[in-house]
Each structure stands twice: as structure tokens, then as C-alpha cells.
Amino acid sequence: MSDIPGFVHIREEGPREGFQIEPGPISTEDKIRLVDALSATGVKHIQIASFVNPRAVPGWHDAEAVIAGMKAAPGVDYTALWFNERGLQRALAYRDKLQVSGSLILCASDVFSRKNLNRSYEEHLAVLRQQTISLSLHDVPITRVGVMAAFGCNYSGDVAVEQALAAARDGIAIAAEAGHRIHEITLADSMGWTTPARTEKLVGAFRNAWPETTLILHLHDTRGMGVASAHAALKMGVTHFDSTVAGLGGCPFAGRPGATGNIASEELVLLCSEMGIETGIDLEALIEAGRLAEQIVGHPLPSTLLRAGSLDACRAAA
């Protein structure tokens, strides 16, 4: 019996991921244009901004203005990213537009934790315990644990499966201490280390450890293995993925300037479609949103479909 799912949920993170790493400057109006275009594609979850220190991530100095200016579409969940109390307070101010839920994000690599979060793994655990207190005080449910560098690290090399499992266990335990139950675990290939075989191994280990918990894969295409790894995960029945329109984005702390970032949403939708998997997303509209993203940033983006078009468009013209 096949484990290939009938429906896959794709979480669009292009605005947040892309505008954090683009040199810019990119206007607030253009950021809003892209969010609104994505809202019309059938995507049901869009991460639109980062509430982070603008000195560290200047591309998101205008997070509040983008959220205030975008048009919230019915049936679409909009989220933002934050890592500290100040970021949480900024997100809570827009609870009328944003779905605010708690995520405990850890790094499977201590070196990457220091690079990305400016604190050691152990120091970050203490911060997460404080975050759970704050989230609970604001009645924000903690539903997800995320493991960054789950597949490997540009600074410390291969990440053992047990390291990724241990990071997830720590996050789940911290949530439980505050009375929260984790429903989702995100495995983030923050620096593009995964391959189909590595994906199968890690997904299998997490499935065995937490069979009732939804796995979300956040894959980067840094070394050209992103879509192939998504294919491997789909064959194992994974139903939730993060991706970015046109392949926008990448990690600014990965130590590889200019490297390709996330898998392109339209390539993932095409893959699903050709496998007979529904996504609820209009691929042609998504490709047009990708072309808009490319126009906004002013340089070519990684997605192959921006130039090749979809297979259905070719079939219709044949």
C-alpha cells in the first residue's frame, strides 16, 4: 500500500524568508504587493514578516507597516516569526490579522545556535523556558517545536539523527513543563544538507519517536537536493511542507553568501500535481506571483518554472 498522501499542506514563507536576506532596499509597498498576490493563489498559510532586531535583519525594519497594509484574505492564516519577548509583543499587537501561536525553535548544532541566535544551545534552553512563561501569560498556545540544522551544519558538519531527536525532546519537555502539548515538529534543513536518503532516515526516526505528531519539512535547495528530498518525504506520507515562492530566501547566518535558499513553492506544487496529490493551489497564479517576486527583487530567482512554465500550460499549447 502506498503512503503517498492525497492532499499536502504547503506553508508559504517567501515574504519572510526572502526579504530577510535580499540586499534591497525593497519598499514596503512591494512587500505588500507580493503578500496580496500570494493570498490569491489558494495558499492557506503565509508567513509574512519577521519581528526581529532591524539592526540584525534590516530587511524587516517595516514589519508593522507590511502587516497593517496587506489585505487579509478569508481562509488564509498569516503568521510572523519572532525569537524573543519584544518580538512577541510586536506580534500580539496584530492579533486581529495574525495567527499567533507559540513555537519553540532549537538548533541541533550548538555552533549554528551561536551563529543564528547568538547564544549556546544550553543558554537557548533557558531562554525558551522564559518564553513559555510569557506565552502562557498571554494565552498563546505552544503547539510546535522546530529543529534547525536538523540534517547538517556548514560549521560543524553532519548532524547525527540522535542530535536532532534530542533537540526535539528538549523542546517537547520544556513545553510540557508549562502545560502545553506539542502537535507539530518542523525539521529544518537550514543549510541545505539533506538528500533523499538522509530525509528518509530522519523522517523515519521522528515517525518512530512521535508517531502521532505531524511532521513539517522545511527544506532548502542549497545543493540541488531540495525537491528530490521532498519527493522522498512525499513517498513516506509527509503532508506538510514549508517553501517559498520562486525559491526566495535562505539563511543569512549559514556562512554561504549567495547560496540558493528554500525549495520553490511552485516546483513543490508541480511535483505534487504530477504525483496526483492535491494542494488546493493554483499553480499558474503561483508562477505569476513568483515572477512578481523576481521583478521586485530585481534579479533572477532560482525557480525553474518562472522561465519554463508549468507542464499543464505546455500540454494546453501542444
Catalytic residues: 251
For every residue of 101-161, DSSP letters joined together read -EEEEEES-HHHHHHHHSS-HHHHHHHHHHHHHHHHHTT--EEEEEEETSSEETTTEE--H
How far, in Å, CA of 279 to CA of 9, rounded?
6
Q: Which of 5, 38, 4, 8 is nearest to 242 (CA)?
A: 8
Q: Are 43 and 10 in contact (CB under 8 A)?
A: yes
Torsion of CA 4, 5, 11, 12, to 10 degrees: 60
3-state secondary structure of 304: coil
How far, in Å, CA of 280 to CA of 5, rounded?
14
**Residue partners of 9: CB distance under 8 A and separation at least 6:** 44, 45, 239, 240, 241, 279
How far, in Å, CA of 109 to CA of 155, rounded?
9
Q: Residue 28 corresponds to which cell in the numbers above?
A: 514596503
Q: Which of 184, 180, 111 is nearest to 146 (CA)?
A: 184
Q: Are 277 and 294 in contact (CB under 8 A)?
A: no
Q: Residue 32 corresponds to which cell in the numbers above?
A: 505588500
Q: Which of 167, 195, 174 is nearest to 108 (CA)?
A: 167
